[in-house]
Each structure stands twice: as structure tokens, then as C-alpha cells.
Amino acid sequence: MRRYVLTGTPGAGKTAILRGLHELGYEVVEEAATAVIARAQAQGEEEPWTRASFVDEVVELQRERQLEGTATGPATATGPATATGPATVQVFDRSPVCTHALATYLGRPVSRALTAEIERITTEEIYERQVLFIRNLGFCEPTSARRISFQESLVFEKVHEQSYRTFGYELIDIPADDLAHRVAAVTSVIAQPHRQ
């Protein structure tokens, strides 16, 4: 199984790209942080990202989803990946390296759980070294889980770049464009034969 990471700043269009990939038969795994936030907000907690345990909760859900090897969330509503080739590829909306970027951005210490998970994914080569970096669209629309200005999102984008480069990943830029072109750009990378 080849596991690719889709990353970038909040509001860059990752979810729409994931849905497009799923429609093409690729197995996709949605963002863990959004799920952690939604679950907490459903229980009445307005800003769960301010809780000290938030980063570790995100790491734990990322680990669970990766180990289960199953697609999750609404992007998978049409069923499993097809068996004609894309079934050997999973595309993840973010990885523990993104969680490292989040901790850095929030000014939080990198916890033992996060350090251990980054060591695990590095040692076991869980994710492909090529990371699909979805560039910002020139704006950032707020949601219940995304309360960040466009200017703040640009800072967060730079922190993500730095984290991935620090851990030795190769960033493949997916520039702002219409959705079809962005899905095609991602597909051109993930459909390539495996390379080390």
C-alpha cells in the first residue's frame, strides 16, 4: 500500500480534492483534527483546540486511522476504492507531521506521543516521501472548526512547509487552480509507479 499525504493551509481545498480522488476510485482518509473538533463541539465544547490534550488526541486518531487502513468520513460515501489499480493507494488528509506543525503554530511543546508517532512513521516508512502540498486559494473561509484569518493561514502554511522539510519529505506543489486541474495534478503523482 502506498500512502500519500495531502497537506497545506486550512481552506486550501484539500477536502474537495479528496472527494475528486475518491470519485476516481482512490481510497481517501479525512483529516483527524476536524473529526476531533467536531466530536468535542457536538458535546458542547466550543474551542477544543485550546485544550492541552488536543494535539495528542489528533495524533491518536491519525494513528488509529492509519493502522486500521480504512477510508473514513463523508468523502467515502460512494463506497470502497476499486480493485483496478487505485486500491493500492491511500491518500491521507494530513499526517502526524501536520500535527507537529500545528503544535509549533500553537506554541505548544511537542509531546512524547507526537514524537513517538513521528518516529514510527519515519522508521516504518508509512507515508511516501513525496507530499502533495495544496497551495492556498487566496482566501480562507471560516467554519466551525476553522477559525483562522487568511493572513494567519499563510503563516500556518509556512510552518507546514518547514515541518515537512525538517523531516525530509519532498513537497510537490499543487498550485491554486480549478478543481479538475488540481485533481489531475494530484493523480499524475499518485498514479506513477512506486519509487523509493
Query: What is the per-residue pLDDT for 77?
Result: 33
- Burial (CB < 10 A; 0-12, 13-18, 19+), residue 36, is buried
Q: Which of 34, 9, 8 is nearest to 148 (CA)?
A: 9
DSSP-assigned beta bridge partners for residue 92: 5, 29
**Residue 73 pLDDT:** 40
Give the phi and the psi of residue 73 in degrees, each rounded to 5.
80, 180
Which residues of the chain fall short of a pLDDT of 50? Answer: 71-85, 196
Residue 134 pairs in a beta bridge with 8, 174
Number of other residues whose CB lies within 10 A of the CB of residue 129: 14
SS3 70: coil
Nearest Cα to 21, choosing from 191, 195, 193? 191
Note the pLDDT tens digit of each residue in 112-154: 999 999 999 999 999 999 999 999 988 877 666 666 788 888 8
Q: What cell numbers appear for 121 in the block?
A: 512513521
Which residue is associated with the grid cell 485550546? 50
Helical pair 112-123 and 96-106, crossing angle rounded to 10 deg: 150
Please report the beta strands in the chain, taking only residues with DSSP state E, as ranges in sequence order: 2-8, 27-29, 89-93, 130-134, 170-174
**Quick one: pLDDT at residue 26?**
94
Domains in the chain, CATH or no CATH each:
2-190 (3.40.50.300)
CA distances 87 to 25, 31, 83, 121, 185, Å, are 7, 20, 5, 21, 19
The torsion angles phi and psi of 169, rounded to 5 degrees, stand at: -90, 150
The CA distance from 133 to 135, in Å, is: 6
